[in-house]
Structure 1
Amino acid sequence: MKLNLSAVIALVCITCIWSYSWIVMKTLLVYIGPFDFAAIRCALGAALLLLVLKLRNRGMKPPPLGTTFIIGVLQTVGMVGFSQWALITGGAGKVAILAYTMPFWVILLAALFLNERLAKLQYWATAIAVCGMILILQPWNNNGSMLASILALLSGFCWGASVIIAKRLYLRTPTDLLSLTTWQMVMGAIVLAVIALFVPSKPIIWHPYLWGGLLYNAVLATAVAWVLWMFILKHLPASVAGLGTLAVPVCSALLSWWLLGERPNGAETAGIICVVLCWRWYW
């Protein structure tokens, strides 16, 4: 199978961008509260995606508003909000691994709501993945990181639920991916801004690193990455693209170990290995 070289390079770039974004999100919490950062990041990202939508002449009319709003609440508010909240006390690599349990939730929710049957191998993969998540969560070890792990899992669940809602929308109504991505982020950013307004948070320290981190996440990790992702989906097989995205949490875990000194203990390492081994069976 001959692969498009430009798309492969784009896949490497997006993996690097998204992997390092978890390190940036973790380290920025010194200067800003999680919901303030999530709201500003998504607002900037939404503005840039609106510009891309306009420049690509896709039309500015949003997809069905009700469904788009639900996807925005799940994918932007839930996925981004819960993961950023989890990073307060959770390690960047560990949170990334648990947030990327999204494929497991997609398979399970699709079986419940889309009548898609699980293959035998996926039943085994789910069982092993659950064991891995228990090892990562370590409910027997009350070390203060349980809340962060649960929040990270909720992030992955919301992400997976948004995929199911989006798939149902695609089945009913022809929908442009860029338009849906843009407008769900616009709506999600508004909800996050309301949450940030009412949730008590520490004062924002407008340090140059904060500006750089916001630009990194809004420009590179949001607008540029999503444009690259659409290019990848167009020119590479879904299985190759899927494996590329699953490299993100692994690289994030390695980067957090290297740059932040977040070394997992034995049980967490075993759990991460279980989850990583199961990912391939879901694509």
Structure 2
Amino acid sequence: MATAAFIGLGVMGYPMAGHLVRKGGYDVRVYNRTHARGDKWVAEYGGKAFRTPAEAAEGADIVFACVGADDDVRAVTTGPDGAFQAMKGDAIFVDHTTASADVARECHAAAREKGLHFIDAPVSGGQAGAENGVLTVMCGGDEAAFDRAKPAIDSFARSCVLLGGPGSGQLCKMVNQICIAGVVQGLSEALSFGRAAGLDCEKVVEVISKGAAQSWQMENRYKTMLQDKFDFGFAVDWMRKDLGICLAEARRNGSTLPMTAAVDQFYGDVQNMGGGRWDTSSLFARLEAMRTKGGKA
């Protein structure tokens, strides 16, 4: 596959599309809702920017998207100006949006009707992972299409795994976000407790990070948490969107997510503090506000 298209040049999509050019060697056509962003990308990486997803997707062997939510996925695939209206037969659409498993299955069926292929492929690793080309990509779809798409995905991935049929990638991403919610809340509670107890929390983490308490969040976020710095990374607004998807899926499959539901509400408190765009580690700020203000965030 020599020609690719990328739809959605946000903080994740922008560098991911760049890796397709510089590491993958693809001729990349791009679309972004804010056209100036697409023009900026072309000035940096080459290729060509288009004014609709359909125009960008025309003639491409593989089309990638990284947009906001379910309705955005529908708009850039099956919408009037969506990619499915112009993609050539047997081409592959890879959706990196974190969305519902339902919309993944819906798009997979719509693609099949048009002689196309659809892979749901949400990612983990954040902006840094996208910029450094080391994302974890969780895929759902048909094995033959996945095998064709994987070399392109590897341009910006450290790990890329097919979990099963349509929707499996999104379900795996839900598992990922449930785990992260619990870990970040636990780390936030631990650091707030340590600070209240008068401990040097940097030394505490230096010790416990060598044992069973170690986590990616601990290694990568504890310093900024202790410095009360949250203006970076994966935003609370995005995490609440993701946890909402998890909770909705749990209601459908009969699973119970009491911790996830609680942390979702805690993130609601952070939003009320004006932290909707803060990093998800800002759960610590909520606890510190409660500790210093008599129990109210």
Give the structure with higher Rg (CA): 2
TM-score, scaled relative to structure 2: 0.25
Higher helix share: 1
TM-score, scaled relative to structure 1: 0.26
Higher strand share: 2
**Higher-RCO chain (CA-CA 8 Å, sequence separation at least 6):** 1
